[in-house]
Chains A and B, each alone.
Chain A
Amino acid sequence: MQLLEVLQDVGDAAVVVRARGEVDTGTIEELSVALEAAVTAAAAHRTRALVIDLDGVTYFGSAGLNALLHCCEKGRAESVAVRVVATNAEVLRPIEVTRLNAVLPPYPTLAEALATLEDPQ
């Protein structure tokens, strides 16, 4: 079984990246490469929006936090709005205790993440 699966989906409202499995130092390269490509895809997308769906993530550590932060910075540099979807404690807790949620607040559903994009900030 694969430890981590990352899929990119180019929708009407945004480029959506879905990660499923374990995000750790062994799999982080895969996620980083996928996020890098997704920012590039989003920069070419009409909406300039990227949603990272981490609901299927079963392990999330500091490697994952750094990848998110890096993606957020790259998004900012390329004028791409980055949103995160997560409801699982495994992902939410690290984001909350490190106060990364001040920069990247997690949304409970894809719809809610997309809703924030319709109102450009």
Chain B
Amino acid sequence: MPHTDRVPEPALDELPRSSGDLGVGSFRFWFVGQRWEWSDEVARMHGYEPGTVTPTTELLLAHKHPDDRRHVQELLDHALHSGGAFSSRHRFIDTQGREHTVLVLADRMLDASGAVVGTEGHYVELTDTLRQVRRDALNTSLPDLFAARAEIEQAKGALMLVYGVGADQAFELLQWRSQQTNTKLRSLAAQIVAEFSTISAARDELRRQFDHLLLTVHQRVE
């Protein structure tokens, strides 16, 4: 019997609903009452028709990956412990039993008095099959992007390092910001590169590790 390692094509029902569907949705989570709000995209990622379900702690528990002890809410509870925006990978199981991996980008929600009342942010779908389909769509529908390749690649490199994501996912992040803000992707990338020097977060540890990488990398080149 012939044996192939070919990866199966994604099933038709896994295709994005439109070529503009990048698998990005938004959410809000209020700490008191542990109340959730999902955008239509986040509902779809979980396998629900928008408007047919109310996200609750119990519902989210049903979508928890069996190997993860902690819940997505614990991830968002990060906002209770440290300030500023944060990002993290998270996986869940949709209503069809399929595993999704998402990048959760979140920031604190404050009330008028400055008290932290919750977290709001975005789910960026990183699931492989969907990603492949979307990348193909982008490659064919946006050929002019390649003219501005250098700046886009530089911005992607920065996102890959900062968020710990792959090249395709970094590209999707750029694409998402571009769509959300109605800004040309190449302009956005160029501006990100121009603003690298304005990031003043503690770099010591990063630089120390990168020094080591830079000075020893030749030993690992085959």
Interface residues of A (CB under 8 A from B): 24-26, 60-63, 65-66, 69, 90, 93-94, 97-99
Across the interface, which residues of A come within 8 angstroms of B71, CB to CB? 24-26
Smallest Cβ distance from B76 to chain A, in angstroms?
Answer: 8
Extra contacts besides A61-B73, A61-B74, A98-B116 (16): CB < 8 Å: A24-B77, A25-B57, A25-B70, A25-B71, A62-B32, A62-B76, A62-B80, A63-B34, A63-B73, A66-B34, A69-B32, A94-B77, A94-B81, A98-B31, A98-B115, A99-B115
Closest A residue by C-beta to B33: A66
Closest A residue by C-beta to B70: A24
A93 and B80 in contact, given A66-B31, A66-B34, A99-B113 (Cβ under 8 angstroms)? yes
Across the interface, which residues of B come within 8 angstroms of A25, CB to CB? 57, 61, 70-71, 73-74
Across the interface, which residues of A come within 8 angstroms of B77, CB to CB? 24, 61-63, 94
Across the interface, which residues of A come within 8 angstroms of B76, CB to CB? 62
A62 and B81 in contact, given A24-B70, A25-B74 (Cβ under 8 angstroms)? no
**Using an 8 Å CB-CB cutoff, how does the interface string of B53-96 with A read, 1 for contact, 0 for none?**
00001000100000001110110110011000000000000000
